[in-house]
Amino acid sequence: MRVGTVREIKNHEYRVGLTPESARELVTHGHEVWVESGAGQGIGASDADYTRQGAKIVATAREIFEGCEMVVKVKEPQASERAMLREGQILYTYLHLAPDPEQTADLVKSGVTAIAYETVTGPGGQLPLLKPMSQVAGRMSIQAGATALEKAHGGRGVLLGGVPGVMPGKVAVIGGGVVGFNAAQMAVGLGADVTILDRSPDVLERLGIYFEARAKTRFASTANLAESVADADLVIGAVLIPGAAAPKLVTRDMLGTMKLGAVLVDVAIDQGGCFETSHATTHAEPTFVVDGIVHYCVANMPGAVARTSTYALNNVTLPHALAIANLGWKAALQADPYLAEGLNVHAGKVTFEAVATELGYDYVPVSDVLG
Ligand SMILES: NC(=O)c1ccc[n+]([C@@H]2O[C@H](COP(=O)([O-])OP(=O)(O)OC[C@H]3O[C@@H](n4cnc5c(N)ncnc54)[C@H](O)[C@@H]3O)[C@@H](O)[C@H]2O)c1
């Protein structure tokens, strides 16, 4: 199969669908890989890095869309890209169609076979193609919080690990899922005094077994939460209620109980945020202060570490890309029910129920398409 990847054109998107190493993997399996010139620039991969791995560099995205059977991307296709999609082509990328009627209409009209990273599942119902971005954001949250705690950034001037003879900083992580676990790992690694709060007994048990005495676990009752937040130098908001807006667990009143210059990092900001005083910020201006408390609320944290994020994403997307290239999309989806859940649009039909319901399309189950 001829597989292509383009330079991402969404504002401030530096990741790329295929790394040079992923291109090599496809080439090794007998496929042809076309890469738009400059596609890897944001992760420090030059055109020469791709050609060394057996890919062919082409000058424009148009050549990729015209010449490739499958296009592998990161972000949903922008309007100018959607205009180049064609019937029978496979598009494999993040799509997030439910809140995006224009994109959905264009994909339906184009006749493309669109497989969305975010709806591919795994055993146990997880979303393995979203997980690496939560891992990145969780780990970054401690880095971002530690920087914000410095005086020059408005923080209270606390070093999370302390030094011999001086107590370490206190970190409260609210939500012990993928983001929270990775945040706690980083904070523990720095030598901070870490408490993880969650409402799920199973999650608390798993965290307790993993961290043993290196981190405390605490049930996230209203009272416990208020106490841990008041006591913390750094609070990480990492809760998720699937399909719902994040609950506002830290109210404006609670800020008054916190230490002046303490820091809130709201990773859940992409779901509306779990602190009442949060609003989404960008990497250009990541923080703001409310009542003396520094807020960091960047909605696309992984974008700042595009290289790490791209490699983490490719680790989970490449096996499916290979299966699709090796078997063809239909046989690949027939062989893998988890990958089949990724099919959102095929030949003018919406094949993902939530998208069809949300946007008023007839829903055609994937099983009907696969026969
Ligand atoms: N800002 C970014 O760049 C970025 C990047 C990746 C993920 N995220 C977001 O981070 C959030 C967390 O993602 P995740 O992958 O860790 O989700 P997850 O499902 O793995 O974990 C969420 C955890 O929150 C817990 N929880 C739910 N309600 C709670 C409550 N009231 N109190 C305490 N804990 C509660 C759950 O039990 C679960 O353990 C999501 O909103 C996700 O979209 C943001």
Task: List, for residues 110-158, the tens digit of each pLDDT value.
Answer: 999 999 999 999 998 789 999 999 999 999 999 999 999 999 999 999 9
Whether residue 184 is contained in a domain is answered as: yes
Given ligand 1 and candidates 134, 173, 178, 207, which is best to mutate, with the most ligand atoms within 8 Å of its CB? 134
Question: Is pTM beyond 0.75 here?
Answer: yes
CB of 203 closer than 6 angstroms to any ligand 1 atom: yes
Q: Are residues 173 and 103 in the same domain?
A: no
Whether residue 126 is contained in a domain is answered as: no
Cα end-to-end distance, the chain, whole Å: 23
**CATH number of the domain that residue 209 is part of:** 3.40.50.720
Mean pLDDT along residues 304-331: 98
Mean pLDDT along residues 266-278: 94
Percent of the chain with pLDDT over 90: 94
Whether residue 42 is contained in a domain is answered as: yes
Element holding 34 (H helix, E strand): strand 32-36
Q: Are residues 151 and 285 in the same domain?
A: yes
Q: Are residues 32 and 112 in the same domain?
A: yes
Mean pLDDT along residues 43-55: 98
Q: Are residues 273 and 344 in the same domain?
A: no
CB of 240 closer than 6 angstroms to any ligand 1 atom: yes
Residues involved in catalysis: 96, 270
Summarised one tens digit per residue, pLDDT across range 296-305 is: 999 999 989 9
Whether residue 177 is contained in a domain is answered as: yes
CB of 198 closer than 6 angstroms to any ligand 1 atom: yes
Q: Look at ligand 1, atom 21, and give the residue with the nearest C-alpha.
A: 177
Mean pLDDT along residues 167-195: 98
Index of the ligand 1 atom closest to the CA of residue 266: 1
Q: How far is the CA of 271 from the centre of ligand 1 (A)?
A: 9
Check pLDDT > 90 for residue 266.
yes
Number of domains comprising the chain = 2
Q: Are residues 279 and 141 in the same domain?
A: yes
Phi, psi values for residue 158, rounded to 5°: -115, 130
Mean pLDDT along residues 336-350: 98
Instruction: Please report the pLDDT score of residue 265 as a whole number.
Output: 98
Summarised one tens digit per residue, pLDDT across range 96-115 is: 998 899 999 999 999 999 99
Q: Are residues 314 and 289 in the same domain?
A: no
Check pLDDT > 90 for residue 210.
yes
Of 265, 299, 333, the one marking the end of a domain is 299
Quote the domain boundaries for residue 72.
2-119+306-370
Q: Are residues 283 and 365 in the same domain?
A: no
Q: How far is the CA of 66 from the centre of ligand 1 (A)?
A: 39
CB of 173 closer than 6 angstroms to any ligand 1 atom: no
Q: DSSP code of 68?
A: -
Please report which confidence band the pLDDT of residue 280 belongs to, taking 50, 70 and 90 as the band edges.
very high
Check pLDDT > 80 for residue 242.
no
Instruction: Please report the pLDDT score of residue 125 as a whole number.
Output: 79
Whether residue 197 is contained in a domain is answered as: yes
CA pair distance 265, 138, nearest whole angstrom = 10
CB of 215 closer than 6 angstroms to any ligand 1 atom: no
Q: Which of 190, 178, 199 is nearest to 267 (CA)?
A: 178
Instruction: Please report the pLDDT score of residue 124 as a whole number.
Output: 81
Q: Are residues 178 and 270 in the same domain?
A: yes
Please report which confidence band the pLDDT of residue 363 belongs to, taking 50, 70 and 90 as the band edges.
very high
Q: Are residues 364 and 273 in the same domain?
A: no
Angle at 61 between CA 60 and CA 67, to 5 degrees: 100
CA pair distance 259, 158, nearest whole angstrom = 11
Q: Are residues 177 and 253 in the same domain?
A: yes
Whether residue 125 is contained in a domain is answered as: no
Percent of the chain with pLDDT over 70: 100
Of 270, 299, 328, the one marking the end of a domain is 299
Whether residue 124 is contained in a domain is answered as: no
Instruction: Please report the pLDDT score of residue 287 as a whole number.
Output: 98
Of 245, 267, 299, the one marking the end of a domain is 299
Please report which confidence band the pLDDT of residue 285 belongs to, taking 50, 70 and 90 as the band edges.
very high
Angle between the N-to-C axes of helices 20-28 and 306-327, in degrees from 0 to 180, rounded to the nearest 10:
20
Given ligand 1 and candidates 202, 206, 221, 240, which is best to mutate, with the most ligand atoms within 8 Å of its CB? 240
Element holding 136 (H helix, E strand): helix 131-148
Q: Are residues 265 and 315 in the same domain?
A: no
Instruction: Please report the pLDDT score of residue 312 as a whole number.
Output: 98
CA pair distance 71, 34, nearest whole angstrom = 9
Q: Are residues 136 and 108 in the same domain?
A: no
Phi, psi values for residue 242, rounded to 5°: -50, 130
CB of 270 closer than 6 angstroms to any ligand 1 atom: yes
Check pLDDT > 90 for residue 203.
yes
Check pLDDT > 80 for residue 173.
yes
Mean pLDDT along residues 7-24: 95
CA pair distance 357, 56, nearest whole angstrom = 41
Whether residue 145 is contained in a domain is answered as: yes
Q: What is the mean pLDDT of the chain?
A: 97
Residues 327 and 336 sit within 8 Å (Cβ to Cβ)? no
